[in-house]
Amino acid sequence: MPFFFAIPHRCDGTVNINLVNIARRESARGYRQISFCGATNRVIEFQSTAKDVNKETIRGNTVPSLAHQPPQTAHANGIDICYEIFGDDNAEPLILIMGLGAQMVLWDDAFCERLAARGFRVIRFDNRDIGQSSQLTGGKKLGALELLKLRFLKIPVAAPYKLRDMAQDTVALMDALHIRSAHIVGASMGGMIAQEIAITFPERVRSMTSIMSTTGNPKVPPPTREAAAMLMAPPPKSREEYIARFAQNWKILRVGSFPEDEALDRSRAERTYARGLNPAGVGRQLRAILASGSRKERLASVKAPALVIHGTEIGRAHV
């Protein structure tokens, strides 16, 4: 039986969450796209001509390839955040937030380009303590005793920062880019950060999408032993060990066979490794998750259109 949960929200009209079957038409001037935005349907469009753009085919439809800005760094919320932008400066802003220990490049370039081609200004970035954003200090390695105290005695773990601080990073990056509000999309830990933004900074959110994430509710099934062991494993000692571990971890997270993704694991791992690793930072991010508690009750206050995407398998690692 498929498993999913919904984050409550209220709006004035029916929310259209069909982001795949997008109506589009060609005209003599270029291309016009219609897609989901906010609590009601409205048109998001861009114009181009065959003379000034390259074209790619997406699902049998020809769409223009939009601007892609190289990685840049913004000083925001007291740290440096590495970010990258796909799409036109005047398009609907869409912020992509990655999960635990995951760099922004795991939002694949082709995926970002497709979103941009559908009328969005796509911003992906490295969370604090990962990739080429600031590396912080503090926080010892998380041990089994702390986890047992948290689970059975409800004693919270100590953390140099929490998910709210990471939500503030995102909002501060929006400020640096002069973005008043945006569509916020997060995967795993990124979904938790997206939820926190929608709760704490509702005026900055046009819509929220939480992918393979959790509310932090302690009643949600914990990770399997295999997934928990993956989270607690010591960091790899070499490039080849990292590449092998990357593929192994994603095999656990995917919970099944996905040949197209598995074929890309090595190139994704090589790109991630080349951008720099920070195992201590991953540990601090994990502490941030565990120290932030449940958002279940507070999520009832979210009024922005919200979409929750989850798989059919539960009890895995949602971080």
pLDDT (tens digit, 9 = 90+) per residue, 289-302?
999 999 999 999 99
Mean pLDDT confidence for 66-95: 95
Neighbours of 172 (CB within 10 A): 17
Element holding 184 (H helix, E strand): strand 182-187
Fold classification of 66-223+279-309 (topology level): Rossmann fold (3.40.50)
E strand segments, 120-252: 120-125, 182-187, 205-211
State the average pLDDT over residues 35-51: 36
Report the percent of the chain where pLDDT is more than 90. Answer: 65
Give me the pLDDT at residue 152, please: 86
Greater pLDDT, 140 or 8: 140
Give the pLDDT score at 146.
Answer: 93
- pLDDT bucket at 313, cuts 50 / 70 / 90: low
Instruction: State yes or no: pLDDT of 233 exceeds 80.
Output: yes
Q: Is the pLDDT of residue 237 over 60?
A: yes
Q: Is the pLDDT of residue 167 over 90?
A: yes
Are 77 and 168 in contact by the 8 Å Cβ rule? The answer is: yes
Q: Is the pLDDT of residue 178 over 80?
A: yes
In the predicted structure, residue 24 carries a pLDDT above the cut 80: no
Residue scoring higher pLDDT (16 or 187)? 187
Q: Which three-class secondary structure state does DSSP give residue 17?
A: coil
Paired tokens of 80: 């440096």
In this structure, are residues 74 and 173 in contact, taking their beta carbons and an 8 Å threshold? Answer: yes
Radius of gyration for the alpha carbons in the chain, expressed in angstroms and rounded: 20
pTM of the predicted structure, to 2 decimals: 0.79
Q: Residue 115: which region, alpha, beta or left (left: phi > 0; alpha: psi -120 to 50)?
A: alpha
